[in-house]
Amino acid sequence: MFSTTRLPSRTALPTFLRLSDTFATETARTTTSFARSRRNMPTELLANQKPLEKVSRSPFNVAFNVHRRTASHFACRGDFNSNPSLLICNKDSGLQSRTVSMWPSGRKSDWQKALSDAEKVVGYPTSFMSLRYLLSDELSNVAMHLRKLVGTKHPILKTARGFVYDGNNSMQTRGLLVLLVSKAAGPGGEWEEEEEEEGDEEEDSNGRSMVSGIYRSQRSLAEITEMIHTAYLMHRGVVNLEEVTSADGTVDDMSFGNKMAVLSGDFLLANACTGLARLRNTKVVEIVSSAIADMMEGSFLLEQDNQGVTFLPDKDWAIKDWTNHTFLCSASLIAKSCQAAMMLAGHRLDIQKKAYNYGKHMGLAHRLHADLLPFSDTSDPNMPFALTSAPLVLHMEHAGRAAVTDKITQVSDKSMKVDYKQLRLEVLEGPAIHAAKELCYDHAQRALAAVTVFQESEAKSALENMTRAVTRF
């Protein structure tokens, strides 16, 4: 089931994710231009040319590595930072190598590099795990109807686009962490895996054979984890129709978007539950189900206005409350999925606990890193940020709740206006940013301490690199 990568249909992808057909058209045009330039080259130069090499196996990352040994032909270049569909051909001289990618063409961040290296370690393309289900035959029909939402502000469109246009690849890392922990821990000692024929579907669902050091059941669990998280994001996209304005779109369109969000989320969650049942491990089903319950509980702890801005809770919101809320909404699924992966391999209870601790503290450190990003980006001083993010919570602990509430104007019972510019300046001037970074370092160190139980390996190094990457700002 997981030995090959299923490509999405040609019609479903641009419809559901609003990818421009210009991208494919311009890519083909550039490739044709390069082929034409080769036909016009002298024979002696053509003999020295290397063919186009495919350098990426991701089904959504169209990449070509073009080698050059002469000054008389074109090198294909792409700049997707400002326009994902832009391809430019420029004259170059000498030996050149350039990758045309769907992601921004600038220098990769430490986090992106850590993710890229980690995917090579597990030998499995995890960047678009749940997209395989979003673009399945069932949801392809639904995707055709989502064209009605183009031009509206329904959250389901933003969620869908995030899976492709998220340059930080932060939306689809849970499955990758599960695979890395599984490979780092190795085979369990409580039962022996039997070597099975690779083509038997029953054997795949039982998970009795290993591929690249990972049991099939663990690979299934990684994909289940991504499906649960994606379903959670879809369900969070349901909007209150009573608060819809003309700027958001018509009530009929927003109502239709709600139906799509509910049905798409239910579809993914149903597939996840079916996959859990096929693992045939009641303890794993129980622990993953408890993670789903945690996510639902966390969703009801805070209230949002009609623009998606989180209201401040009525009571004082301390950093321990932030930690509890973040664990329920995000870190719980990572922690319990890592623990479940150890259960599937038959590892001892102490190994399961270490995997749980790694997932928990890695999830909290990653959330802290994300909360700090708006304060490190000075390009837009009015850029919104969560009023319950870690820096804001620490700022309230230092300066008092009034330091934040004074910057909020209540427009209505379900809407408010925030002076983000002034609030950001006050947070930057105080000790909250330093305290948030220290807290991020602390959780990262706890995550690193948890993986010391594993033997030295590429998978362990990848886990350590990803953990260290979230502490770099």
Q: What is the pLDDT of residues 403-414, one digit of tens each?
A: 888 888 765 555
Whether residue 299 is found in the same domain as residue 434: yes
Which pLDDT score is estimated for 41? 47
The letter for the amino acid at 439 is: L
**Tokens for 395?**
């700022």
- Residue where a domain terminates, one of 99, 125, 153: 99
Helix H, strand E, coil C: the string for 87-109 is EEEEECCCCCEEECCCCCCCCCC
Whether residue 84 is found in the same domain as residue 118: no
Whether residue 388 is found in the same domain as residue 271: yes
Whether residue 205 is found in the same domain as residue 147: yes
Q: Poorest-confidence range of 44-53, 205-214, 456-465?
A: 44-53
Q: Quick check: 448 pLDDT over 50?
A: yes
- Kindly state whether residue 2 falls inside one of the protein's structural domains: no
Helices 458-469 and 349-376 meet at what angle, rounded to 10? 30
- Kindly state whether residue 225 falls inside one of the protein's structural domains: yes
- DSSP line for 147-191: GGGTTS--HHHHHHHHHHH-TT--SS-HHHHHHHHHHHH-S-SSS
pLDDT band at residue 284 using 50, 70 and 90 as cut-offs: very high
Which pLDDT score is estimated for 238? 81
Q: What is the pLDDT of residues 5-49, one digit of tens each?
A: 333 443 343 333 333 333 333 434 444 444 444 444 444 444 444
CA count, 13 A, side-chain hemisphere, 65: 7
Whether residue 299 is found in the same domain as residue 333: yes
Which pLDDT score is estimated for 133? 52
**Tokens for 184?**
């780092």
Whether residue 62 is found in the same domain as residue 190: no
No. of helices (H) and no. of strands (E), the chain: 20, 8
Q: What is the pLDDT of residues 210-269, one digit of tens each?
A: 788 899 999 999 999 999 998 998 888 887 777 777 667 777 778 888 888 888 889 889
Whether residue 81 is found in the same domain as residue 143: no
What is the rounded CA–CA span in Å between residue 372 and residue 256?
Answer: 35
Whether residue 94 is found in the same domain as residue 115: no
- Residue where a domain terminates, one of 72, 99, 126: 99
Which pLDDT score is estimated for 73? 32
- Kindly state whether residue 105 falls inside one of the protein's structural domains: no
What is the rounded CA–CA span in Å between residue 193 and residue 279?
Answer: 14
Q: Poorest-confidence range of 87-101, 136-150, 195-209, 440-454?
A: 87-101
Which residue did the predictor score with more confidence, 388 or 156?
Answer: 388
> pLDDT over 90 for what percent of the chain?
35
Which pLDDT score is estimated for 125? 58
- Kindly state whether residue 104 falls inside one of the protein's structural domains: no
Report the CATH number at residue 258: 1.10.600.10
Q: Quick check: 108 pLDDT over 70?
A: no
Whether residue 290 is found in the same domain as residue 143: yes
Which pLDDT score is estimated for 167? 45
Whether residue 335 is found in the same domain as residue 203: yes
- Kindly state whether residue 24 falls inside one of the protein's structural domains: yes
Which pLDDT score is estimated for 309? 61
Q: Is the pTM of this model over 0.85?
A: no
- DSSP line for 371-389: HHHHHH--S-TT----TTS
Q: Quick check: 393 pLDDT over 90?
A: yes
Whether residue 36 is found in the same domain as residue 127: no
- Residue where a domain terminates, one of 59, 75, 99: 99
Distance from the Cα of residue 21 to its chain's centroid: 24
Q: Which domain holds residue 206?
A: 110-469
The domain tally of the chain equals 2
Which pLDDT score is estimated for 55? 35
- Kindly state whether residue 4 falls inside one of the protein's structural domains: no
pLDDT band at residue 134 using 50, 70 and 90 as cut-offs: low
Q: Quick check: 126 pLDDT over 80?
A: no
Q: Quick check: 50 pLDDT over 60?
A: no
Which pLDDT score is estimated for 99? 30
Chain mean pLDDT for the chain: 71
Whether residue 164 is found in the same domain as residue 71: no
CA count, 13 A, side-chain hemisphere, 110: 11
Q: What is the pLDDT of residues 214-225, one digit of tens each?
A: 999 999 999 999
- Kindly state whether residue 5 falls inside one of the protein's structural domains: no
pLDDT band at residue 301 using 50, 70 and 90 as cut-offs: confident
pLDDT band at residue 191 using 50, 70 and 90 as cut-offs: very low
Which residue did the predictor score with more confidence, 105 or 345?
Answer: 345
Q: Quick check: 458 pLDDT over 90?
A: yes
List C-alpha distances in Å: 365 to 248, 299, 372, 393: 34, 20, 11, 16
> pLDDT over 70 for what percent of the chain?
60
- Kindly state whether residue 433 falls inside one of the protein's structural domains: yes
Which pLDDT score is estimated for 171? 54
